[in-house]
Amino acid sequence: MFTRTESLRDFIRFYPIVSVIISIHILLYLATAVPVFPSRYLFEQLSGVNLYIVNGEYWRIVTPIFMHGGFAHMLFNSFSLVLFGPALEQLLGRTKFILIYLATGIAANIATLILEPLTYTHVGSSGAIFGLFGFYISIIVFRKAMLSRENSQTIMTIAIIGVIMTFVQSNINITAHIFGLLAGFLIGAASFKKNS
């Protein structure tokens, strides 16, 4: 389920939403990586800056989901999405998958806006990725039959390690990680209870 054996062409064909998100990560990273005026301006315009959001720049609640603070940051989040996104895209369908991804990322950024200082600046898709973990956990809790025991253990292990690392590593948006995870779990819980 979490082992990727497809060719690049098959991966793009089977998981178009994950592929598009990763392509956006890479393109925005490349567009903002060169330290010249246009790329610097683009990064500044798309980053999450709480002060600018409360002053009406509401797109900054969405755009940070696709922005990253460096190559390693972009690579790690994109790799996480390659591993854990395809199974959910296949399970939920394209529309539900992108809605959950965006909803959890936006929830993480709104929590950041509410709980962090106005001077706080953030980028990264990890709030949305933690949202996927939260949704997986809701499957484990409410629909155990949808995942094998081995896959459930993998998800729980990675989620626990992710939460621990959230508090151990520096320069992490703890609020986004925790509230992305919570949003994913609550969305899953609500959808499974509605369908039961």
Active site residues: 126, 177
Phi, psi of 141 (to 5 degrees): -75, -45
Structure tokens at 103: 């909803």
- Output DSSP code: residue 145: G
DSSP secondary structure of 19-49: HHHHHHHHHHHHHHHS-SHHHHHHHHHHSEE
Alpha carbon distances (Å) from 78 to 23, 94, 138, 167, 194: 9, 18, 23, 21, 32
Amino acid at 50: N
CB 176 within 8 A of CB 27: no
